[in-house]
Amino acid sequence: MNKTFTLIATLFCAAAIKTSAQLVTISATHQLPAIGDTIRYVDANTFGFNQNGTGPVTNTLWDNALLMNAGTNYLFFYDDPATITGNGVDSFPGATLARGESGATGYFYYQNTANDINRIGWYSSASNYGVYNAGTYATEFHFPMTAGQTVNSTYSGRYAPFGLGEDSCTLESGSLAINADQQGTLILPTGTFNNVLRIHALETFHIKIYMMGVPVIDYLVSDDYYYWFHDTIKQPLLTYGITTIDGTAQTPVLRYQPISGTTGISQIAAPSEITITPNPSSGKFLLSNISSTNALLEVVNTLGQKVNFQQTNKEQSVEVDLSNLPKGVYFIKVTDGRTSSTHKVIVEF
């Protein structure tokens, strides 16, 4: 009986170790964004999309090979807070990184560590910003992250330019839970990715307006998002989520990085193919390596608004003049036949 029990116990332990070894882990090696990074996504239509996939949570198949592109690119770009003027940077003295987004004004500010991506607030405009109280933050992602692991964080702070007395606007009961709840294979229009880890992030917070010390308005904001990570690719391969404000769901977000599952190279006119010199500049720069003199150029600001500019074609290069525009970040969309790419340029002189 003892020998039988010992054998069963040994087999059980061996199976447990083998199962544990098969769990997908995303390390910090390739995931933490750095100053100068630009991560490009393609927006997709949510029609027919299923975030849960098929199969068990330990070996799920997310087949999104037929995702329909919405025809737009979306960029996340990371800047040094010390180089930013305006955009509320003075309210975030501890920030080590600022993340801007195409089509949106302002920045999200971060105080990252070697393992955590910690948001400490955001600034969109003088009437729309949030500053978390010192020592509190929203841990958007933690690495290494292994299937089955959960990480929680809480925060509070102030919202917009109101004070902290009897008449104020505050951020309260902020919480963010990230749960690595599934692993498996992800198929995108550009290729197949094995050993993918899905992270489910649930964030809620209250925006409360006080009058004479009494909360007279209470907005509940909830973010329900899913992220698919691969250990060798920086930032999520695929993102899907919905923001709800006081029970009203906003437009869903669905976007993916257009890179190959076998080569890691962009399949939709990779930004590296087109060079911009100089960048930053006074507003005059040269786009090179454009494959056609008939390429269509569009320029938008960080609000997503198209701006007027001048261009001069020189065979497969184009001179662009934005010197009449205010200093700041702009995005140039280059459409050449069936492919398009978006590139960040900085006007600062």
What does the alpha-carbon distance between residue 176 and residue 222 come to, in Å, rounded to a whole number?
Answer: 10
Start-to-end Cα distance in the chain: 83
- The token pair that represents 245 in the structure block: 């404000």
Query: Is 231 a residue whose pLDDT tops 80?
Result: yes
Predicted confidence (pLDDT) per residue in 2-34, tens digit = 433 333 333 333 344 344 449 999 999 999 999
pLDDT at residue 272, as a whole number: 45
Percentage with pLDDT > 90 across the chain: 54
CA distance 311 to 295: 12
The pLDDT score that the predictor gives to residue 268 is 42
Q: What is the pLDDT of residue 212?
A: 87
Average pLDDT of the segment spanning 164-184 = 92
Phi, psi values for residue 137, rounded to 5°: -165, 165
- Could you tell me which residue, 63 or 266, shows the higher pLDDT? 63
Q: What gap in Å lies between CA 30 and CA 234, rounded to an integer?
A: 5
Note whether 226 and 183 are within 8 A (CB): no
- The pairs formed by 111-119 with CB atoms below 8 angstroms and a separation of 24 or more are 111/137, 112/32, 114/28, 114/32, 115/28, 115/142, 115/143, 115/144, 116/141, 116/142, 116/143, 117/32, 117/33, 117/141, 117/142, 118/153
Q: Which helix (H) or strand (E) segment is 10 a member of? A: helix 2-21
| 271-347: CATH number | 2.60.40.10
Residue 304 has pLDDT above 70, yes or no: no
- Residue 79 scores a pLDDT above 80: yes
φ/ψ of 235, rounded to 5, equals 70, 165
Please state, rounded to an integer, the average pLDDT across all residues of the chain: 85
pLDDT band at 74 (very low <50, low <70, confident <90, very high): confident
Using a 10 angstrom Cβ sphere, with 0-12 exposed, 13-18 middle and 19 or more buried, the burial of residue 40 is buried
In the predicted model, what is the mean pLDDT of residues 289-297? 75
Lowest pLDDT segment from 40-44, 92-96, 344-348 = 344-348
pLDDT score of 69: 86
Q: CA-based diameter of the chain, in Å? A: 88
Is the pLDDT confidence value at 89 over 90? no
Cα–Cα distance for residue pair 179/199, rounded to 1 Å: 5
Torsion of CA 128, 199, 110, 251, to 10 degrees: -20
Q: 274 or 315: which carries more pLDDT confidence?
A: 274
Contact 186, 238 (CB under 8 A): yes
Residue 186, classified by CB atoms within 10 Å of its CB into exposed (0-12), middle (13-18) or buried (19+), is buried
The domain ranges of the chain are 26-256, 271-347
pLDDT band at 271 (very low <50, low <70, confident <90, very high): very low
- Higher per-residue confidence, 77 vs 273: 77
> At residue 265, does pLDDT exceed 80?
no
**249-278: average pLDDT:** 73
Instruction: Give SS3 for 349.
Output: coil
184 band by pLDDT with thresholds 50, 70 and 90: very high
Query: Cα–chain-centroid distance for residue 157?
Result: 22
Q: Which of 156-170, 244-258, 260-274 has the highest mean pLDDT?
A: 244-258
Whether residue 144 contacts residue 180, with contact meaning beta carbons closer than 8 Å, is answered with: no
